[in-house]
Amino acid sequence: MNEPIINPWIFYIAQVCGDIKDILAVSMCASMAALIFLVTKCCFDEKQEPVRKMLVPAFIIMALSCFGFIFTPSKETAIQMTAAYYVTPANIDAAQGNAVSFVEELAKAIAKGIAEGKDGNGGCSNDEVPHG
Given a cut of 90, whether residue 41 has pLDDT beyond it is no
Cβ proximity of 118 and 124 under 8 Å: no
* Mean pLDDT to the nearest integer, 58-85: 89
Q: What is the pLDDT of residues 11-40, one digit of tens each?
A: 888 889 889 999 999 999 999 998 888 888
SS3 per residue for 38-58: HHHHHHHCCCCHHHHHHHHHH
The reply to whether the predicted model has a pTM over 0.85 is no
For residue 72, give the 3-state DSSP assignment.
coil
Residue-range domain boundaries for the chain: 1-87, 89-119
Nearest to 86 by CA among 1, 3, 5, 4: 5
